[in-house]
Amino acid sequence: MNIIENFDLYAPRLVDKKEYLCSGHRACQGCGEVLGLRLMCKALGPDVVIANATGCMEIISSMYPSTAWEVPWIHVAFENAAAVGSGVEAGLKALRRKGKIADRDVKVVGVAGDGGTMDIGLQALSGAMERGHDMLFVCLDNEAYMNTGIQRSSGTPMGASTTTSPAGKVSSGQKTWKKNVPEIMVAHGVSYVATACPSYPLDFINKVKKAMKVKGPSYIHCFTVCPTGWRSPSEMTIKLGRLVVETGIFPLYEVEDGKYRMTVEVDQLRPIEDYMKPQGRYRHLTPDQIEIIQDRVYQEYNKLQDKINGLHAWSDLQYEWGLFD
Amino acid sequence: MAKRVGMEVAIAAAEAVGMCDIDVAAVYPITPQSHIAEHLSEIVADGRTDAEFVTVESEHSAISCVAGASGTGARVYTATSSQGLMLMHEILPIVSAMRLPVVMGIANRAVSGPLNILNDHSDIMPQRDNGWIAMFTENGQETVDLTIQSFKIAEHPDVMLPCCVNIDGFQLTHMVEPIEFPDQKLVNKFLPPRKPYATLHPDKPVSMGTFAMSDIFPEVMKAKDEALKNSKKIILGIWDEWEKMFGRRYRPVETYCADDADVILLTMGSMGETAEIGINELRKKGISAGLVKLRLWRPFPFEELKQAVKKAKILVVTDRAVSFGGPGGPVASEVRAALYGEKERPLIYNQIIGLGGRDMAVSDFVAMVEDAVKSGEKGIIKDYEFYGVRG
Ligand SMILES: Cc1ncc(C[n+]2csc(CCOP(=O)(O)OP(=O)(O)O)c2C)c(N)n1
Ligand code: SF4
Ligand SMILES: [Mg+2]
């Protein structure tokens, strides 16, 4: 079903009109994660199999006997989306080689939240990427375990209050800095790694399309706003997704064969308060604490700039996957 | 008749898998399973089987990987032992609920702690209630035959359940035994390509592994139970077919000198062969002893077991695992439950034996039976004992 008004007027050549993740699912109003998933599907098109980890997106899209999925989809458990995806890829590869299924490309896409990617799923993800499966893995990062009630993850940013890193009389929320998983993926020699956010839909769609073309593993870390978990107004979702980029907290970049490139340039970084203010999870922070976080944001941003300016692309031969197949 | 070859049983298990035209195998090495993993990878590396061999980074990923592959319609295999099986535990009931016909070889080994790599059944017993078909093999020949049969059983349209073949670690996996491999052409006839019910492919999109609330969850559980119970009929049919094609007969419960026996010993797995010699010795001593061997653990063969022991006065059930703080061993607990409703039932003595690879000699089986007979005569009832264990 097409629910975009005046679609034909504005977007037919930019975005697939067809919905592969249908409306009627149970995501909260203003959920940025399901928007990310929906855009991802539009970019992927029909020739995919999705391996989804347990989490909000699995729960809201698949309550038996209904399903929101128009593309083949499998869910097994929380920490193993990358391993299940590996199996799907291996299965399709063998069946195709042996003439048991149609001889055409079908992309396997692993999908998990920040918990399912950065914490409990990191081992399976590392294994799958190291083995070089022809698989795109997309982390939908809403910076906490939302499905189980907003508990902290290693993707939760410093200072954010969650139900297991609560701000209290002697505590100011999350005590650790966000884990840099895209960097871990680059370290695996993954030839296409990118960050994205559904508030920049065309940037995101382009990245998914690029990743799809990679023969081998690719990774997209998609920042998604969760109004329920962040205690932010649901109508602010798109805005917050833009502010996180404009403040430099979550820059949008891609890494092709080790070569970094900013895909959305920000002329002048906005102060992080602009982004933090509308969110209940940051409400307890003092100006001093915000300043510490601000300094860190600048530092990380500069580190990224250094990589963009200083690192060259790998020579492609040694980094190609499947050379010894 | 095919030629017999001498071969290590783990290698033979891999050879059997190599005859089944698998599409994907995902294995993570662990003693004593590793020879299966290694040899299967050799078979694939030499092109003797056209399959993807996925060297996953853990057993959790091994079972997850074959689950995903099975979802595409592929024929899949994995193998593990002990800690590896425990790591898979979370995924096992999901595989059966998703009705994915995964076949797994288990080289049974004790679970930690303390760490021990030798044989008992404490790895498979905690997996009892996961909805898998579970069989135990007694020797190399059975290992080969049951492995091949497992694919046909698991993939049968009226079964569609995962199936595990339990092979005692070291005591069986590392023995060199005479094995007769079935003819490949006949195996191809016996085991045609898998015809999956639904597959993960964009030509016909399906959602697998969806979320279910209390309005449907109990029905899914009931369906799984019924499917597993009904699978016995199919297993029996497949065993008949096997017998016709290959001449070897398989039943859920095997008996040895049990028809007229007053006292029956019950074993599961490779100790059956040692126990048989024990029965011979007991008979020589004038004790009317027999042996019952459980091959099929799930679905549990209630009727066959009742028939096999119905005339006995004493039943000595051996267990290779402990249900701590419970009724002794899991096999005895099952057997007691099976016989509880019978008007005439034997006294049951449960002996927990061979934990962590503790050797069991013929004389041990003889002693266990003699002890049970004496106890029976004196009217002494013992729930369970750790046979020959100090302290
Ligand atoms: C092995 C295991 N541990 C814990 C859980 C409970 N659990 C389910 S989803 C989830 C959190 C999901 O968080 P994330 O991956 O960030 O996805 P989100 O719900 O935020 O989209 C947890 C902890 C589980 N299902 N399995
Ligand atoms: S809790 Fe957050 S991520 Fe989950 S459905 Fe609601 S808005 Fe989306
Ligand atoms: Mg999350």
Please tell me which of the candidates B55, B61, B206 has its beta carbon nearest to residue A72. B206
Residues with CB under 5 A from ligand 3 (ion): A 113-114, 142, 146
Question: Any residues with CB less than 8 A from the CB of B5 and at least 6 apart, and which?
Answer: B178, B179, B180, B181
Residue A196 in domain: yes
**How many CB atoms are closer than 10 A to CB B204?**
9
Q: Is A147 in the pocket of ligand 1 (CB under 6 A)?
A: yes
Residue ranges making up the domain that contains A231 = 18-313
pLDDT of residue B7: 98
Question: For residue range A237-266, what is the model confidence (pLDDT) as tens digits?
Answer: 999 999 999 999 999 999 999 999 999 999
Is the separation of the CB atoms in B174 and B32 below 8 Å?
yes
Widest pairwise Cα distance in chain B: 71
Question: Which residues in B lie closer than 8 A to residue A92 (C-beta atoms)?
Answer: 72, 200-201
- Which amino acid residue places its CA nearest to atom 7 of ligand 2? A31
Please tell me which of the candidates B64, B90, B210 has its beta carbon nearest to residue A83. B64
Question: For residue range A92-142, what is the model confidence (pLDDT) as tens digits?
Answer: 999 999 999 999 999 999 999 999 999 999 999 999 999 999 999 999 999
Question: Which residues in A lie closer than 8 A to residue B213 (C-beta atoms)?
Answer: 63-64
Give the atom of ligand 1 at the shortest distance from the alpha carbon of A155: 16
Question: For residue range B336-370, what is the model confidence (pLDDT) as tens digits?
Answer: 999 999 999 999 999 999 999 999 999 999 999 99
How far is B54 from chain A, CA to nearest CA, in Å?
8
Question: Which residues in B lie closer than 8 A to residue A84 (C-beta atoms)?
Answer: 64-65, 67-68, 71
CATH fold for domain B4-246: Rossmann fold (3.40.50)
A74 with B209: Cβ contact below 8 A: yes
Give the atom of ligand 2 at the shortest distance from the alpha carbon of A60: 5
B74 with A77: Cβ contact below 8 A: no
Mutate to test the interface with A, among B20, B58, B65 (most CBs of A within 10 A): B65
Question: For residue range A204-242, what is the model confidence (pLDDT) as tens digits?
Answer: 999 999 999 999 999 999 999 999 999 999 999 999 999
pLDDT of residue A149: 98
Domain positions in chain B: 4-246, 253-386
Ligand 1: centre distance to CA A164 (Å): 14
pLDDT of residue B73: 98
Question: Which residues in B lie closer than 8 A to residue A101 (C-beta atoms)?
Answer: 72-73, 199, 201
Predicted confidence band at B215 (pLDDT cuts at 50, 70, 90)?
very high
pLDDT of residue A322: 77
Question: For residue range B52-79, what is the model confidence (pLDDT) as tens digits?
Answer: 999 999 999 999 999 999 999 999 999 9
Ligand 2: centre distance to CA A27 (Å): 6
Q: Which two tokens stand for residue A200?
A: 């920049």
Paired strand residues for B77: B25, B103
Residue A13 in domain: no
Average pLDDT over residues B93-111: 98
Residue A265 in domain: yes
Instruction: Tell whether the model's pLDDT for residue A11 goes beyond 90.
Output: no
Pocket of ligand 2 (CB under 6 A): A 27-28, 31, 33-34, 56, 60, 142, 146, 226-229
pLDDT of residue B262: 98
CA atoms within 13 A on the CB side of A105: 11
Question: Any residues with CB less than 8 A from the CB of A258 and at least 6 apart, and which?
Answer: A186, A311, A312, A313, A314, A319
**Domain count across chain A:** 1
- Which amino acid residue places its CA nearest to atom 11 of ligand 1? A145
Q: Average pLDDT over chain B, rounded to whole? A: 97
Residue A261 in domain: yes
pLDDT of residue B1: 55
CATH tag, B253-386: 3.40.50.920
pLDDT of residue A1: 42
Q: Which strands make up the sheet holding B263-267, listed edge to edge?
A: B253-256, B289-294, B263-267, B314-319, B347-352, B384-386
Question: For residue range B250-265, what is the model confidence (pLDDT) as tens digits?
Answer: 999 999 999 999 999 9
Average pLDDT over residues B196-212: 97
Average pLDDT over residues B270-274: 97
Predicted confidence band at A316 (pLDDT cuts at 50, 70, 90)?
low
Instruction: Tell whether the model's pLDDT for residue B35 goes beyond 50.
Output: yes
pLDDT of residue A135: 98
Q: What's the distance, Cα to Cα, between the start and end of chain A in Å?
A: 42
Instruction: Tell whether the model's pLDDT for residue A28 goes beyond 70.
Output: yes
Beta pairing, strands A253-256 & A192-196: antiparallel
Residue A86 in domain: yes
Is the separation of the CB atoms in A43 and A205 below 8 Å?
yes
Ligand 1 pocket test: which of A33, A34, A54 has the largest number of ligand atoms within 8 Å of its C-beta?
A54
- Which amino acid residue places its CA nearest to atom 4 of ligand 1? A78
Residue A113 in domain: yes
Put simply, whether B210 touches A (Cβ < 8 Å) is yes
Question: For residue range A270-303, what is the model confidence (pLDDT) as tens digits?
Answer: 999 999 999 999 999 999 999 999 999 999 999 9
Residues 181-200 of B with CB under 8 A from A: 193, 199-200
Average pLDDT over residues A29-57: 98
Predicted confidence band at B382 (pLDDT cuts at 50, 70, 90)?
confident
- Fold matches, B4-246 and B253-386: yes
Instruction: Tell whether the model's pLDDT for residue A3 goes beyond 60.
Output: no
User: Is the ipTM beyond the 0.85 threshold?
Assistant: yes
Residue A243 in domain: yes
Ligand 3: centre distance to CA B84 (Å): 29
**CATH number for the domain harbouring residue A22:** 3.40.50.970
The residue count of chain B comes to 391
Question: For residue range A133-182, what is the model confidence (pLDDT) as tens digits?
Answer: 999 999 999 999 999 999 999 999 999 999 999 999 999 999 999 999 99
Average pLDDT over residues A34-60: 98
Residue A11 in domain: no
A86 with B61: Cβ contact below 8 A: yes
**3-state secondary structure labels for all residues of B299-324:** CCCHHHHHHHHCCCCEEEEEECCCEC
DSSP A86-111: HHHHHHHHHHHHTTSS-SS--EEEEE
pLDDT of residue A2: 46
